[in-house]
Amino acid sequence: MHNGLPISEKERTELFSFKHFTESEEGYELWRAHNYITKSNGSLTFSRESDFDCFFIELPRESNSKLVYIIDDEKIWRSLFSRWLEQAGFDVEVASNEESAKKLLGRNDIPRLILIDVALGSSGSESVAGLSLIDFINDSLLPRPKIALMTDSESRDNKYVTDIDFIKKVNSKGDVITKNDFLSYIDDLIY
């Protein structure tokens, strides 16, 4: 079954790859499909129609191309970045800690971009508490949104860079990022 939304080749392979199993493993592919669909915030239902059984698959919607989540424990940054993004035409939702971020991420809307403060909820200069949300996001959201980590420390981004983009809130001179630079980073991340 197909709900009309495009399915990536990776998702198609993961969902519909069939292997040869013994009778004792009967139902494995259905179990695997159910887990994948559930992980994707979709649903798999069963219906018995006269002479045949049907499985209906409902996959999640595409990401909302104008929705951005900002996860930062400092109100000044949430307010500033929200205002700039809203002025640029984006819909913005915010969270101030890991718990409220997980509630926000549990909604049905899939954001196009998630901005996460690296030092979410901590005061230590070496903290990377915001990184703990990345695994949660990767395990719970499909399609996966783009993620960017925000930092106000020069040392953090050099230590923890992987394949995640960083936005520096403050430059090496101590100047706050400008609206134009911030929106330019956002455009580069999304488009």
pLDDT at 7 (0 to 100): 55
| Backbone CA torsion sign across 66, 108, 97, 137 | negative
Separation between Cα atoms, residue 169 and residue 181, nearest integer Å = 10
Q: How many angstroms separate the CA atoms of 153 and 150, rounded? A: 9
Is the predicted pLDDT of residue 119 greater than 70, yes or no?
Answer: yes
- pLDDT band at residue 26 using 50, 70 and 90 as cut-offs: low
- Note the pLDDT of residue 43: 74
HSE-CB of 156 using CA atoms within 13 angstroms: 26
When mean pLDDT is compared over 76-90, 103-117, 171-185, the highest value belongs to 76-90
- For β-strands 91-95 and 52-58, DSSP reports them as unpaired
Q: What is the pLDDT, as a whole number, of residue 28?
A: 66
Segment 36-52, tens digit of pLDDT: 777 666 777 767 667 76
- Tokens 């990377």 belong to 128
Q: Residue written as tokens 């909820």?
A: 121
Show the tokens assigned to 130: 């915001």
Residues in the chain: 191
- Band of the pLDDT at 163, cuts 50, 70, 90? low
The pLDDT of residue 25 is above 50: yes
CATH topology for the 64-190 domain: Rossmann fold (3.40.50)
Query: Residue 64: is its pLDDT beyond 70?
Result: no
Element containing residue 46 per DSSP (H, E) = strand 43-49
Does residue 1 surpass a pLDDT of 50? no
Q: Which residue has the higher pLDDT, 54 or 92?
A: 92
Determine the pLDDT at residue 40.
66
Instruction: Find out whether 91 and 66 touch, Cβ atoms under 8 Å.
Output: yes
Residue 151 has a pLDDT of 85
Domain range list for the chain: 9-58, 64-190
Residue 82 confidence (pLDDT): 97
Which of 86-93's residues contact partners 24+ apart within 8 Å by CB, and which partners? 88/183, 88/186, 90/66, 90/186, 91/64, 91/66, 91/67, 92/67, 92/68, 93/67, 93/68, 93/69
Q: What is the mean pLDDT of the chain?
A: 76
